[in-house]
Amino acid sequence: MTQRKRIAVLVSGRGSNMEALIEASKAADFPGEIVLVLSNRPEAKGLQTAAAAGIDTLALDHKAYPDRAAHEAAVAQALDAARPDVICLAGYMRLLGRNFVERFLGRMINIHPSLPVSYTHLTLPTSDLV
């Protein structure tokens, strides 16, 4: 079997999508292992759920940072430390800046079901998709 991908999950609340990922990851043939659950809200129930499942958690309260860029820099640093192959935005309710998205381009997926189709794509030159 190939090595499982390292997955980081970002949540802002209850974490129902994250719970489904945790449950799915228990299967022997699931291609990934959740190595970090990170939230911008320290009170997020998803953090408690992940901790109860034995997954490392981290809360980086966006209100504790002077601006979006400073918060995103802290999130990026935490992600770099966790070394994820895949970053799942599972109900992460923060808009992410261009630099953050470009830094993790190709490794990030938004699985939140409420986003309208018009907001779920990035317009990139074709050469960037190869």
- Catalytic positions: 112
Helix (H, G, I), strand (E, B) or coil at 75: helix
Residue 126 vs residues 12, 103, 123: alpha-carbon distances, Å: 32, 18, 9
Q: d(Cα 77, Cα 121) in Å, to the nearest integer? A: 25
On whether the CB atoms of residues 90 and 17 are closer than 8 A, the answer is yes
**Beta bridge partners of residue 38, listed in sequence order:** 10, 58
On whether the CB atoms of residues 72 and 87 are closer than 8 A, the answer is no
Q: Are strands 32-39 and 86-89 parallel, antiparallel or unpaired?
A: unpaired
